[in-house]
Amino acid sequence: MKMNLYTRTGDSGKTSIIGGRVDKDHLRVEAYGTIDEANSFIGQAMTLLTDSTFKDIYHELEKIQHELFDCGGDLAVVKEKYPYKATSEIVDFLESRIDHYVKEAPPLEKFILPGGSSAAAAVHIARTVTRRAERCAVSLQKEMEINHNVLKYLNRLSDYLFAIARVINHRLAIKDVEYERSALVFKTNPKTEKQE
């Protein structure tokens, strides 16, 4: 049986979501579309993390890609009869990994510039797109009910990506470049180490 990748049903500027149809520039579509964009950048970063040095990070990112699909699906749900997939457990997992990686990387006191190695730079791009996805989800939440776990997950994910970008550079013996005009902005408690 032949499957067509095009359906022509969106030619008028509308798209199907779970429980209805909306304009393609609807806040809901913008939110889950930006999650898809972040997921794609994570996939790109993973192509630079195939060395055994990063086996743990690679497998975690693969898990995260599936969870981002769940989050996007949850934001596409408009009827309560469809159960949400993103749970508090996936948020807890990210928090535990953030705490782990913060201990591995060197202490952080100042803002840093995104970059260092190619892999870390790719992760930083995924981080900033994840932040944008979070902002889109916040805008959507102002208009309608959403799965709040998605919002929490996106927030923690950007912190997780920041943490692993630093670990990647550390494992490659590449120092993070501090923003030269940064004040001392990070506290000594490792759980507060994140970059907005």
Q: What is the mean pLDDT of each run of 10 residues along the chain (196 residues)?
A: 57 55 66 95 98 97 98 82 88 98 92 95 98 97 92 98 98 92 72 48
- In angstroms, the CA 129 to CA 134 distance is 9
Which DSSP category does 53 fall into?
Answer: G
Question: Which domains, from first to last, does the chain contain?
Answer: 23-76+87-192 (1.20.1200.10)
pLDDT for 193: 46
pLDDT for 83: 84
Structure-token pair, residue 155: 């927030």
pLDDT for 89: 97
User: H/E element holding 20?
Assistant: strand 20-23
Instruction: Note the helical H segments in the chain.
Output: 27-46, 55-75, 88-104, 118-143, 148-171
User: CA nearest 158: which of 108, 95, 103?
Assistant: 95
Q: Which residues does 86 contact at the CB level (< 8 Å), separation at least 6?
A: 67, 70, 71, 74, 147, 149, 150, 153
Sign of the C-alpha dihedral, residues 66, 84, 157, 127?
Answer: positive
pTM beyond cutoff 0.75: yes
